[in-house]
Structure 1
């Protein structure tokens, strides 16, 4: 056991000494996340959102139709809230507006009743209050945010119209208390979909963190080949310790390096970039699982190569492709038919787990899938590494 601890400590000291941990695990993720936030936040892009609407004829004609005519959105009529939730969940629509009773019509009827002496006392304004429920897709955070702003702006305009009608009917001497005036529209948000999304800053930091995590682990695994080529590994294998345990100690070094790097990134990204990771226990479970998955995947890829240089090249290709398809740089919904391939990458499940945390959900499924990558990859890698070390 003492020999294994010495091997582990030696690998950790080497990673810290050559700057691998600081550069790949912290500096590059933070730097690229800052640049992505800067570019995405300052660029004027065409919205081109896909919206659906259930009911809400006044809101549709006054707000959505003009935006559709200007080419900013594509509007579809949806039969029911259940259908809208299904379409948003499948990524067919970016957001769906679901309406209750139309507040404009209710306000007009209340106003007419107050002017007619034979109608008795007018109905309270809250009797005709409607609601707008925004159901958003987790793969379209910008379009969902715009949908919320549209609904909130429309609600504020309706509130001002109701206030104006109340003042006109009651006279200046009886201006109603603004705080007592009921909301004409209540904006509701579907918690099953639209809340399950990360804000832009957290998304970019998390995406860059998991992307460069694979390169951090990759360098640790590739170090095994470098030691074999230099003859160091042969001397280590001569120790009175089973070769499989020596390989396990080296993989544990990669795991600890990844965990330390992700922990530092999470701690410093909050004050520096405003990232909000969510529940610490859930984040810790996701980080541990994705580090194990990355170690297993990178180790398996390396065992199919012959030299340290070839291992680094192959691992870089796999890490880059998985990062793009898995949604580390941008929402996988923008990849069209290729988005389905994201489900076979650890990156996708890590980002999905963080989104579940934001919505107050469980991370059991993402953690289970990530641990599945590790359970399959690490034993295979250990068996193949053991044979390669003895060769």
Structure 2
């Protein structure tokens, strides 16, 4: 069929440019690797510690934090120095152990200050670790104090008995409720691959918009239109070409990251649905820009601006989880944010296709609007 030949010709034209092979096949994997190391699970998170004289009991809390996975403790001399290091990003967060920390034993309590930058994903994870360690240690100290009071043994002896799980017979059980932002065991690349799939699928599709303008400027569209080929065949061929290019880019990232980095994309049916709908979104946007743009350079500039701008706003460069409430609201004017939410549910929380139905519905609406508007704009530009 002619429209199939046109679609395949569009795909061939993309890979005839050798630089496109580099950008389509290599760059996405380099970015998956880099963002996986920067934002993915498994990297060391630096926690500053200021000890204002908490004594041996304070050192117990420090030891508990030091035993946590992926936490690197950094001794800091003063509260002001710690604040400066958090602001500069030298440490992800910090805690201050007060001089009256031992008062926690008597029941009057002591405050352990936790300092972090708002919106820092690593700091949010550290906050969970610190809260859990403080809660667990406070429970043990209070249990030891109760044992000492009831039995008359020295506090230190009661505390040693609890640590050794002998003597007092008191068991401390701690349960954590709620859903973690990054579940245990998730890989670093499981977090970085999905947003980059969204970014590069959309961007690659958008950069082909200039080819539509070039086809008109060089008279190729006019010669095709003058041939005994129906206009709808020409239009559908160009539409299929944009979709095919976006699909190839998406599959390269999804399958390649699964093989190279072991990325688990979750429910296959759900992942396929998100991928296909986002391919339609990217293809429709490329058609719209290519149909409306007057010059090849203008189409290329607009495509690059929208491809990168919408991607960054939608959380594909900086994790959407680190956005504030207002920024998250604005992010969801883009299809990227809805795709991000869908993949987050699939990859992190074992969701199925039914669980991401709202996100799929929004992506389907984006795809329908963009494909319809893009097809009409392309047809109008071809017969103009």
**TM, length-normalised to structure 1:** 0.67
**TM, length-normalised to structure 2:** 0.68
Alignment of 1:334-353 (within 5 A): 334-336=322-324, 337-353=326-342
Out of 372-381 and 334-343, give the one that drifted further: 334-343
Instruction: Mark the CA change 1:165 to 1:371 in structure 2 (over 3 Å): closer, same or farther.
Output: closer
Deviations 1:150-191 (A, max 9, x none): xxxxxxxx998624251xx28xxxxxxxxxx99733343413
Instruction: Mark the CA change 1:383 to 1:197 in structure 2 (over 3 Å): closer, same or farther.
Output: farther
Gapped regions of structure 2 (runs ≥ 5) = 47-88, 96-102
Instruction: Mark the CA change 1:314 to 1:49 in structure 2 (over 3 Å): closer, same or farther.
Output: farther
Shift of 1:194: 5.8
Between the aligned partners of 1:380 and 1:102, the Cα distance in structure 2 is: 62
Between the aligned partners of 2:110 and 2:238, the Cα distance in structure 1 is: 58
Does residue 1:374 correspond to 2:367, yes or no? yes
Alignment of 1:79-94 (within 5 A): none
Between the aligned partners of 1:190 and 1:289, the Cα distance in structure 2 is: 31
Does residue 1:280 correspond to 2:268, yes or no? yes
Corresponding residue of 1:32: 31
Shift of 1:13: 2.3
Shift of 1:303: 2.8
**Aligned CA-pair RMSD:** 4.0
Contact 2:141/2:159 (8 A) holds in 1: no
Contact 1:21/1:257 (8 A) holds in 2: no
Between the aligned partners of 1:388 and 1:261, the Cα distance in structure 2 is: 27
Instruction: Mark the CA change 1:43 to 1:187 in structure 2 (over 3 Å): closer, same or farther.
Output: closer
Shift of 1:286: 0.8
Contact 2:206/2:303 (8 A) holds in 1: yes
Shift of 1:32: 1.9
> SS of the residue aligned with 2:176?
strand
Between the aligned partners of 2:315 and 2:171, the Cα distance in structure 1 is: 39
Gapped regions of structure 1 (runs ≥ 5) = 51-56, 75-87, 117-157, 171-180
> SS of the residue aligned with 2:316?
coil
Between the aligned partners of 1:235 and 1:186, the Cα distance in structure 2 is: 75
Corresponding residue of 2:350: 360
Count of residues in correspondence between the two structures: 311
Deviations 1:310-330 (A, max 9, x none): 111111111111111100111
Of 284, 292, 295 in structure 2, the residue corresponding to residue 307 of structure 1 is 295
Out of 294-303 and 321-330, give the one that drifted further: 294-303
Deviations 1:172-219 (A, max 9, x none): xxxxxxxxx997333434138665997542232222222121221123
